[in-house]
Structure formats: structure tokens, C-alpha cells
Amino acid sequence: MTVGGKHVVVRPARQIGGSLRLPGDKSIAHRYAMLAGTADGTSVLRNFASGADCASTLGCMAALGCAVVRDADGTVKVEGRGRGLKEPSGPLDCGNSGSTMRMLAGILAAQPFATEMRGDGSLSRRPMARIIEPLGRMGASIAGEDGGRPPLKVRGGALHGVEHQLTVASAQVKSCLLFAGLLAEGVTAVEEPQRTRDHGELALRAFGAEVTRERNRTTIRGGQPLHAIDAYVPGDISSAAFFLCAAAMLPGSRLVIDGLLLNPTRAAILDVLAGMGATIRMLEVEERHGELVGTVQITGGKLSGARIAGAQTAALIDELPVLGAIAAYTNDGIEVRDARELRVKESDRIAVLATNLRAMGVQIEEFEDGFRMAGKQRPHGAKVDPAGDHRIAMACAVAALGAEGDTTITGADCVGISFPDFFSLLERVAIR
Ligand code: S3P
């Protein structure tokens, strides 16, 4: 692999081998940092996520008056201010991070001051009506541009609990409303159409709040105090997915990842890969602050294929690009449906993935809500452009490992959004 400026050249690999431990999970790190800021005392968050997205959250918390210290070993300390965040002196910069904007808006909605939240070009195109409407019903006033796009002007105030039915399965919106509900008067209930990741619920409990769940309905009572925690953020399973998929698709690969997040609402990628024929063993599984953590060993083999739809699509939402990347190397192909949400992620992930895989010679059928690729195709190296989307850049790198010839990924430094060390770790485990 050659890294030149923002271009990375990925050479094909025979196998993946070795062992890895990954930086902390992005979803959990965002939530821990936000709740730490609204807790009493100083929280110590070990193995914090290393990417720019969680740095955006830390920057916002610092701007809201929480002292944030980051050590070289990945430990972050956040001083909590209880309910009383400080009015920031200017707009909050959420960078590329939809999680920062959507979830933090729930906390800002309850503060006695107005805040503006901004983001980069990609974030400025993402839909925010899904939080603006329910937070408005709770008593906040939030104004967006152009039918509910960032920047957002949040005028906080006294909130009251509401019942809210999510129209799209979104864990960010669920967490946003639970965070607002914690700071509201009365009870807030959020009902989701499909079960999404439950880190918001687990994090609230870890910080001392009571959250109840009955089927897909989650309830929180307002006014509960939070206390600081000392926690280890488990390795990011959505980052691991790139290595797991690469190992699964290259027969003879054997990879071990320890300290990995294995929360059942996030681990669907393991079921899919095992269902297609990879051999997966889970060892030393334990619970930390409500989250399951353990060691995964994967052995690659001939993969069959998969059809992913409905609740499984929601559970795999961040892993769909990399499943698309390995589809051509399977026996029977992969079809993904019910994935309209992919079109409003950091990029239109269906369109950008399709364009790049086509450049690599893959035949792909694109649907409004997904894609289908036949198996037994023979991708070749190409010049690809992930359009600034970190998960598309990493998915292209995985596709490149099985292709004939080298692949050049332009603008590859976008992996820094979630996984700055991705290419160096890939180089460490790629066997040529
Ligand atoms: C996330 C939820 C998902 C996911 C995102 C992180 C979270 O987004 O795509 O990367 O941490 O709650 P949605 O809530 O928009 O589905």
C-alpha cells in the first residue's frame, strides 16, 4: 500500500491474518461524552474513539463549559456540569457528525439559552426534521434551513415529556429524545418501528438513570441526576466489520480481534458472515457498563450469499457498504433492501458505492432502497472516489484486496472521520 497525499493505493491480498485491538466504539463514545458533560463529577473514558466525529462531540462539550482532557493513550476525561451547561460563545461545530448534532440537540433543547449547531457540507445536507419535530413538541424551538437541514438554531427551555413514535428506525433520534426526556418534566416514551442499537439506554443506566424498555418502547422519567463514570469504551465493531469482511472473503484467513463490542444490537455482521460460511468463535465475553465485550476469532472460507431486509437492514445499517464490497466475491451474491436511509448518510451510500464498484468492473443493480450484486464476479483494480465518505473509502479498500491489480482511493484521508489508523492496520494484517 502506498499513501501519497490524500491518495491511497491498495494492493490485492491473499489472506488476512494476525490480531487486532481497535479504538473505542464511536456510538458509545459520543453518548458517554455527552452524558459525562451533564453528570456530576469527572468521568474517565478509556479507549475513547479516535476519529474526528467523536472529537467534534468533545469540542462541543468543551464549548459548553465542560473541561475535556485527552491523553495520548486514548483516555478522555470530561468534567461534568450537572444540568447547567455554559452558553457557548459561538456556533457549535459538529463537523461531519450527524450523531453529534442529533443527540446533542436533545441536551441543548433543555438548556436556558440559544445555541447554533453547524456542520460541514455533508452534514448540512442531512435531514434533521426527525429531531426538530419531537423536540418542538417537548417545548424547545428549533429552526433549520431548507425543510429541516443544518445549521440548526436551538432555543432551549423547560421541556415536558412526550410520547413519540419514530417513523424511521434511528438510534440517534431515540437517544436524542431520551436525553431530552432525562432533562424534561414527566415521562418520555419513544417507540421505534424496529429495534435499533441500544447504547443510549445502556449509557443512561451506566450514569445512574433508570430507563425501562418493553418490546420496542423505551421510557425515561425526567429529573434523574447522573453521576460520573470510569469506563472502558469497547472496540468499535463497525470499524472491525471491514477486517471481518476482508477475512471472511479471503479463504484461509484467520484474524483475532479482542476487546471488541459485542452488543447484540450491533453484532449482526457476525451472524451474516457466519450464515454465509465464515467460521466465527467468540471468547471471553463479559459485560462492562451494560455493554458486552469479548474476543472474536474469524476464519475465512468460501462464502455463499445473503439477502438482507427489514429489521436486519436496520441492525446492519453501517455495515451495508462493506457487505456490498464483498458481494461480488461470494458464491450467490448479496441483495440489500429496505435501506433507503443509506441515501441520507454521509453520502448517498447506495449511489456512491455503486459508482465505485462499477469502476472496479462489478455489475450491480441499484434500487431506490438497496442494491443487488451477483456472486462469482471478477473485480479489477481501478481509481475510485469515496466522495468524502469514510465508510465507502474503507469498503472500497476491502473490495480492492480481492481484485486483480491495484486500486487507488482518492480522498482516502476521510477514513479519519471514524478510523484514522485504518490503512496502517490493514497493512499490518494483509498477507500478500
Ligand atoms: C448511530 C446510528 C445510526 C448509524 C450511525 C450511528 C448511533 O444512524 O448510521 O453511524 O450512534 O446512534 P441513524 O440513527 O441515523 O440510523
pTM of the model: 0.97
246 lines ligand 1 (CB under 6 A): no
Helix axis angle for 268-276 and 237-249, nearest 10°, is 10
171 lines ligand 1 (CB under 6 A): yes
170 lines ligand 1 (CB under 6 A): yes
**Could you give the CA distance from residue 85 to residue 83 in angstroms, rounded to a whole number?**
6
417 lines ligand 1 (CB under 6 A): no
Quick: pLDDT tens for 267-309: 999 999 999 999 999 999 999 999 999 999 999 999 999 999 9
Residue 83 confidence (pLDDT) above 90: no
101 lines ligand 1 (CB under 6 A): no
Does the annotation place 77 within a ligand binding site? no
Quick: pLDDT tens for 322-339: 999 999 999 999 999 999
Helix, strand or coil for residue 161?
A: coil
Quick: pLDDT tens for 200-218: 999 999 999 999 999 999 9
Residue 4 confidence (pLDDT) above 80: no
From atom 13 of ligand 1, which residue's Cα is the shortest distance away? 170
Cα–ligand 1 centroid distance for 98 (angstroms)? 8
**Could you give the CA distance from residue 130 to residue 168 in angstroms, rounded to a whole number?**
8
Segment 220-227 shows an average pLDDT of: 98
318 lines ligand 1 (CB under 6 A): yes
Residue 240 confidence (pLDDT) above 50: yes
Alpha helices for 64-118 (secondary structure H): 98-108
Segment 4-25 shows an average pLDDT of: 92
Does the annotation place 31 within a ligand binding site? yes
Return the pLDDT at 226: 98
Ligand 1, atom nearest to 173 Cα: 14
Return the pLDDT at 270: 98
Segment 47-53 shows an average pLDDT of: 98
Give every CB contact of residue 48 below 8 A, 6+ residues apart in sequence. 23, 24, 29, 32, 33, 54, 70, 74, 75, 76, 233
Segment 148-158 shows an average pLDDT of: 97
172 lines ligand 1 (CB under 6 A): yes
Ligand 1, atom nearest to 238 Cα: 10
Specify the domain boundaries for CATH 3.65.10.10 within the chain. 2-24+234-431, 26-232
Residue 419 confidence (pLDDT) above 60: yes
Segment 42-55 shows an average pLDDT of: 98
Return the pLDDT at 88: 98
What does pLDDT average to over the chain? 97
Q: Is-cis flag, bond preceding 151, omega within 30?
A: yes
Cα–ligand 1 centroid distance for 169 (angstroms)? 9
Pocket test of ligand 1: the residue of 54, 99, 392 to mutate, having most ligand atoms within 8 Å of its CB, is 99
Residue 156 confidence (pLDDT) above 60: yes
Cα–ligand 1 centroid distance for 171 (angstroms)? 6
Q: How many Å is the Cα radius of gyration of the chain?
A: 21
Give the DSSP per-residue string, 360-421: TT--EEEETTEEEE-SS---B--EE--TT-HHHHHHHHHHHHHSBS-EEETTGGGGGGT-TT
CA dihedral 385→377→395→421, nearest 10 degrees, is -100
**For residue 69, what is the enclosing H or E element?**
strand 68-70
Cα 164 off chain centre by: 23
Report the catalytic residues.
Answer: 318
Tell me the residue length of the chain. Answer: 432
Cα–ligand 1 centroid distance for 32 (angstroms)? 15
Segment 81-87 shows an average pLDDT of: 91
The proportion of the chain whose per-residue pLDDT surpasses 70, expressed as a percent, equals 99
Residue 176 confidence (pLDDT) above 80: yes
27 lines ligand 1 (CB under 6 A): yes
Return the pLDDT at 84: 86
Residue 80 and residue 40 in contact, taking contact as beta carbons nearer than 8 Å = yes
Return the pLDDT at 146: 87
Does the annotation place 170 within a ligand binding site? yes
Residue 158 C-alpha cell reads as 423547560
Cα–ligand 1 centroid distance for 317 (angstroms)? 8
Quick: pLDDT tens for 251-264: 999 999 999 999 99
Structural class in CATH, domain 2-24+234-431:
alpha beta
Among 351, 349, 318, 321, residue whose Cα is nearest residue 334: 321
For residue 271, CA distances in Å to 22, 121, 260, 263, 306 come to 20, 35, 15, 13, 11
Quick: pLDDT tens for 387-416: 999 999 999 999 999 999 999 999 999 999
The CATH number of 26-232 is 3.65.10.10
Ligand 1, atom nearest to 200 Cα: 12
Q: State the CB neighbour count (10 A cutoff) for residue 299.
A: 15
Residue 66 C-alpha cell reads as 465542560
Does the annotation place 428 within a ligand binding site? no
